Chains A and B, each alone.
Chain A
Amino acid sequence: MTTEGHVDVRADVRQYVQENFLYMRPDVTLDDQDDLLDLGIIDSLGFVELVEEVQVRYGITVQDVDITEENFGSVDSIVRYVEGRRAAG
C-alpha cells in the first residue's frame, strides 16, 4: 500500500477507519468531515488506537500536544494533520 500523496493518505485513512471501526456501526455512512467520536464510530480507546496507528503508518512522531480531536477527530482532520506534519519535515 502506498501512502504517498494527498489522495492516498485519504483513501488509506478511510480504509483503516472502515476496517477497524466502522464495521461496528453498519448503520452509518461516513463522510470525511464527520466527527468520529460524536458519531460513536470510535470511543476513547479507539481514539488511542487511531492516533498510534497514524503515527506508525505514516512514520510521523505525534507530540502530546497534538493529540486532540482537532487533529484526529475526522478523516479530513487526520489527512490535514498528516500532510501538515510531512510538509513540516
Chain B
Amino acid sequence: MCGVAGIVRADPRRPVEEDRLLRMARALRHRGPDGFGLARDDGAGFVSARLAIFDLPGGWQPIEATPGGGLIVYNGEVYNHPELRGELSREGVGFSTTTDTEVVLRMLERDGLSALDRFNGQFAFGWWQPRERRLVLVRDRFGVRPLYWAQLADGTLAFGSEVCSLFASGLVDPAPDLLGIDEVFTLWGTRPPRTVFRGVQQLPPGGLLVWQNGHIVEQRSWWTSAPWTAPPQEHDLDSLLRDSVRLRLRADVPVGAYLSGGLDSSLISALAQETTGSRLRTFSVAFTNELYDERAYQEEVAAALGTSHHVVEAGSQEIADAFPDVVLHAETPMVRTAPVPLYLLAREVREQGITVVATGEGADELFWGYDLFKEVALRRLHAQDPTRAEELLNRLYPYLGAGAARRGPAWRQFILQTGAGDDPLSSHLTRVEATATVKAFYSDDVAAELAAADPLERLRSDLPAGFGELSALERASWLEVTTLLEPYLLATQGDRMAMAHGVEGRYPFLDHRVFAASVGLPPEQKLDGIENDKVALRRLADEVLPPSIARRPKQPYRAPEVEPFFAQGAPEWIEQLVSPEALERVGLWDPARVSGLLRRCRAGKATGIREGMAFVGILSTQLWHESFFGEDRRSFVPEDLGPRVSMDRMGHPATGATV
C-alpha cells in the first residue's frame, strides 16, 4: 500500500525534473511513511511513497521488469499474488522480490491487460512501457484505491494517488469545479471521472486509461459492477466470503480489524479470528454522545470473540479539532462529519503499531442492508397494503426521532410517494432531496451558474443499457455501489481517513467473487419482506456470532454534526471561517442565508439532519477552499529524505523486452 505519482511528457527529450517528483513524493508521504523511491526515464518520471506490507526489506518501488524495461508504481494489494507467482515461477519467470507489486508487473508483461482479470485485490497503478512510450493507468474493480490524473495542453499527463500530488508537481493549478461541488451536495461525492477540481479527473472504478506519446489512446472499463455481467460462481457465498477474509489477512505485518458493533464488521472479525486461530486485534470508535455510541455492542462482540480490543472515544472537541485535517486529507467538501472519527481511529491504530485493518464496507450495498432498500420494498407493498406499509415504515430511521423531521403522516407520504414514480433514480430521491438543503445556501451567482446543470440528469443519461431491466431493488443496489460506495464511503470516509495515517483498509465483502455471488442470490436471500435484511449474511453470522449481534438491526454509522462546532470550548477558527468576510472571499455561499443558519446553530436549534448537512457542507467547503485556493493554501516542498530507490534511465535504451 502506497502513494504513487508520475509525469509523462509527449516529448521524450523534455526531462521530468527531479524536483517535481520529490514534491509529489513528499505530498504523498502520509500514504507511504516508510520511505520513497523514484525513477526517471526519457520524458517520464515516477515516484512511490511506500507503506511496507509485503517484503519489508526488499519491496521498494518503482520496480522494473528488466533494466530500462517495463516499470510499475503500484498502490494496493493483489491478495492472490502467491498463486500467481507460483504459476509464473513454473514457467521459469524469476523474481527479485517477494512483493505482489513484482507479480503484478510480471503478469502484465506476460499477458498484457488481460492479466487484470486474474487480480483479486484493491490496487491502482501506473505501468510504463518505455519502448512504446506508453503509460497505462489502472484502478481496481470497486475503486478502493484512488487514482487521479490531469492532461496538459502539450500532451503531458500527470497522475497521482491524491490530487495534492498533481498540484505538488507544479504542472496543475488548483481550481474548483462547481459541477463537482454540486455533485457532492447531491450524492455526497463526485461521480468519476469528475472531481471537485477543474481539470483533474479520476479513473473510474474498474477503469483504465492508456496514454501514448502525448495522447490518450484508450479509456475504458476493464470490469463493471453492472449485475448482468457478474459470472455465476462455483462456490457458495459462505465459502467465498471465508476465502476472501483468508486472502485479506495475507501480509508480512500484523492485520487488525475495525469493529463497529454491527453485523458486517463483526462477521468479518469473527471470520478473521476463525481463519488465523490467533487473537485478533480489534478497534472501535465510541462516542461520548450516547445517541451515536455503539460501544456496548462492540464490547459484546470483542468479548464473545476474545479479541484484543481497543476503543477510541470521539467527543465534540476531538471532532472539531480534527475537522480541518480531515477535509485536507479528503480533498473535498462533505456533508457529514462521519469521516472524522474514522480519521481519529486510524491515528490510534497506527499508534498501536497496526498498519492493516479488515473492515465491513460493501455489505449493505451488496446485500441490501440500508433502510433505503426497505423504502423501495415498502413502496411496492404500499400499493397492495397501505396500512401494513405505513406500520412498517414507522420502524425505519429510528434516529429521526429527534429534531425537525418528525415521523408523522406527511413524512410517511413523502417517503412512500417521492420515489413511487417511474424515475430510474426513484430509490435515491429522498436522500437527494434531504441533501439538497445545502444548495439553498449557494450564493446567487453560484446558483445561477448551476441552474442549467442538473447532476441527476447527468446521472440518468449515464445509466447503462440494461439498467431498466433490473428490479427496483437491484437498481437501488447498483446506484448505491456507483454513487455512494466509491465516491463517499471508500474515498472520503475510507481510503483518505485511513491513509492519512498510513493505515490500509481491506474489504472482504468487496472481493469480486463475493460480489458475483451476491448478485446470483435470490432476492429474498438479501431482503426478505421488509425487515429481514442481509439474510444470507445473517445466516452465516448465526454460526459465528452471538444472536444479539447476528440479529441486530442496522444502526447507521453517524457522528454529531453541528454540536461539536458550537459546544463550549469550540475552536475560534470556526466562527472566523464562516464569517461574512470569509464567505464573501470564497464566494460560494450567501452570507445572509448562512448567518441565519449560524444563528440557529448557536442557539442549539439546528438539530435536524438537513441543517446538520447544510452546516457541515458549508464549513467543509470553506475549509477546502482555504486549503487549496486561499492565501494560506497548502504549499508543497520536496521530499527531504533520501530515496530508497533511485533509477536514472534517461538516455539508456531498454535492455529487456517489454510487452
Show the binding face of A for B, using Cβ within 8 Å: 19-20, 23-27, 43-45, 47-53, 55-56, 62-64, 67
A48 pairs with B411, CB closer than 8 A: yes
Q: Could you tell me if B433 and A45 are in contact, using CB atoms closer than 8 angstroms?
A: yes
Residue of chain B at shortest CB distance from A22:
B596
Residues of chain A lying within 8 A (CB to CB) of residue B167: none
**14 A-B residue contacts at CB 8 Å?**
A23-B596, A23-B599, A24-B440, A24-B441, A24-B596, A44-B414, A45-B434, A48-B410, A48-B413, A51-B410, A52-B404, A53-B404, A55-B409, A63-B409
- Decide: B593 and A45 in contact? CB cutoff 8 A: no
Of the four ranges (under 10, 10 to 19, 20 to 34, 35 or more), the interface on chain B belongs to 20 to 34
Q: Which residue of B lies closest to A66 (CB)?
A: B409
Residues of A within 8 A of B433 (CB): 43-45
Flag if A24 contacts B597 (CB, 8 Å): yes
Q: Which 8 A-B pairs have the closest CB atoms?
A: A23-B596, A51-B410, A52-B406, A26-B592, A52-B408, A48-B410, A49-B404, A48-B414
Cα-based distance from A20 to B290 in the complex (angstroms): 27
B202 interface contact, C-beta 8 A: no
Query: Which of A44, A49, A62 lies in contact with B405, CB distance below 8 A?
Result: A49
- Does B75 have its Cβ within 8 Å of any Cβ on chain A? no
Using Cβ atoms and an 8 Å threshold, which residues of chain B touch A62?
408-410
**A25–B608 Cα gap in the complex (Å)?**
19
A-B contacts counted at CB < 8 A amount to 68
Give the nearest-CB partner of B610 in chain A.
A45
- Bound-state CA distance A86–B108 (Å) is 76
Given contacts A19-B605, A23-B599, A25-B593, contact A45 B440 (CB under 8 A): no
| Set of chain B residues within 8 Å of A48, measured between Cβ atoms | 405, 410-411, 413-414
Asked whether, in the complex, the Cβ of B418 is within 8 Å of the Cβ of A44, the reply is yes
- The minimal Cβ–Cβ distance linking B593 to chain A, given in whole angstroms, is 5
Q: Is the CB of B406 within 8 A of A56?
A: yes
Contact A20 B418 (CB under 8 A): no
Taking a contact as CB atoms under 8 Å apart, the answer to whether A64 and B409 are in contact is: yes
Residues of A close to B406: CB separation below 8 A:
49, 52-53, 55-56
Using Cβ atoms and an 8 Å threshold, which residues of chain B touch A56?
A: 406, 408
Q: A47 — which chain B residues lie within 8 A by C-beta?
A: 410
Other than A48-B410, A52-B407, A56-B408, give 5 A-B pairs with Cβ distance below 8 A: A43-B433, A45-B414, A51-B410, A52-B410, A55-B409
Q: Is B514 close to A, CB under 8 A?
A: no
Residues of B within 8 A of A50 (CB): 410
Name B600's closest neighbour in chain A (CB-CB). Answer: A23
With beta carbons under 8 angstroms apart, the residue of B413, B436, B592, B597 that contacts A64 is B413
Contacts of A43 in B (CB 8 A): 433, 436-437, 440
Q: How far is the CB of A80 from chain B (nearest CB, A)?
A: 18
The residue on A at minimum CB distance from B411 is A48
Best-buried of B409, B410, B597 by chain A (most CB within 10 Å): B410
CB distance B413 to A67 under 8 Å? Answer: yes
Residues of B within 8 A of A20 (CB): 404
Residue of B nearest to A26 (CB): B592
Give the residue name and chain of the B residue nearest to A67 (CB). Answer: B410
Chain A residues with CB under 8 A of B407: 52
Instruction: Indicate whether A55 sits within 8 Å of B434 (C-beta atoms), given known contacts A23-B597, A45-B414, A48-B414.
Output: no
**B405 to A, closest residue via Cβ:** A49
Select one of A24, A27, A52 contacting B411, CB under 8 A: A52
**Most B C-beta atoms less than 10 A away, residue of A25, A48, A51, A53:** A48
Alpha-carbon separation in the docked complex, A20 to B597 (Å): 9
Give CA–CA (A43, B592) in the complex, Å.
19
Q: Quote the shortest CB–CB distance from B401 to chain A (angstroms).
A: 12
Query: Measured between alpha carbons, how far is A47 from B433 in the docked complex, in Å?
Result: 12
Residues from 598 to 631 in B contacting A, C-beta threshold 8 Å: 599-600, 605, 608, 610
Which residue on chain B has the smallest CB distance to residue A51?
Answer: B410
CA of A67 to CA of B405, assembled, Å: 16
A24 and B593 contact, Cβ closer than 8 Å, known pairs A45-B433, A52-B406: yes
CA distance A52 to B404 in the complex (A): 8
Chain A contacts for B411, CB-based, 8 A: 48, 52
B404-429 residues with Cβ-Cβ distance < 8 A to A are: 404-411, 413-414, 418
- In residues 561-611 of chain B, which contact A (Cβ within 8 Å)? 592-593, 596-597, 599-600, 605, 608, 610
Interface string of B306-341 (1 = CB under 8 A from A): 000000000000000000000000000000000000
Q: A44-B418, A49-B404 are in contact. Are A26 and B409 (CB under 8 A)?
A: no
Nearest B-chain residue to A27, judged by Cβ: B592
Assembled-state Cα–Cα distance A22/B648 (Å): 64
A38 nearest CB across to chain B (Å)? 15
Please, how many angstroms separate the alpha-carbon atoms of A43 and B422 in the complex? 21
Task: Name the residue in A25, A43, A45, A51 with the highest tally of chain B Cβ atoms < 10 Å from its Cβ.
Answer: A45
Contacts of A19 in B (CB 8 A): 600, 605
A residues less than 8 Å from B610 (CB atoms): 45
Residues of B within 8 A of A49 (CB): 404-406, 608
CA separation between A37 and B406, bound complex, in Å?
20
Residues of B within 8 A of A53 (CB): 404, 406
The residue in B405, B411, B414, B433 that gathers the most chain A C-beta atoms within 10 A of its C-beta is B414
- Name the residue of chain A whose CB is nearest to the CB of B410: A51
User: Which A residues lie within 8 Å of B605 (CB)?
Assistant: 19
Contact A51-B437, Cβ < 8 Å, known A23-B596, A44-B414: no
A1 to chain B, nearest CB (A): 15
Q: Are B408 and A55 in contact (CB under 8 A)?
A: yes
**Could you tell me the distance between the alpha carbons of A48 and B408 in the complex, rounded to whole angstroms?**
9
Determine the distance from Cα of A63 to Cα of B408 in the docked complex, in whole angstroms: 10
Assess whether B434 is in contact with A26, with CB atoms less than 8 Å apart: no
Q: Which residues of B contact A25 (CB under 8 A)?
A: 593
Complex Cα distance A26/B404, Å?
Answer: 21
- What residue in chain A is nearest B414 (Cβ atoms)? A48
B261: min CB distance to chain A, Å:
30
Task: Give the docked Cα–Cα distance between A47 and B410 (Å).
Answer: 8
Whether the Cβ atoms of A23 and B593 lie closer than 8 Å is yes
The answer to whether B410 touches A26, judged by C-beta atoms less than 8 angstroms apart, is no
Whole-angstrom distance between the alpha carbons of A51 and B407 in the complex? Answer: 11
CA distance A56 to B401 in the complex (A): 13
Query: What separation, in Å, do the CA atoms of A24 and B414 have in the docked complex?
Result: 22
Bound CA span A56–B410, Å: 12
| CB of B372, distance to nearest CB on chain A (Å) | 16
In Å, the complex CA distance between A19 and B441 comes to 16
Chain A residues contacting B408 (CB-CB under 8 Å) are 51-52, 55-56, 62
**In the complex, A25 Cα to B597 Cα: how many Å?**
11
Closest to B407 in A: A52
Given the known inter-chain contacts A49-B404, A55-B408, please indicate yes or no for A26 contacting B413, CB distance below 8 A: no
Q: How far apart are the CA atoms of A86 and B418 in the complex, in Å?
A: 30
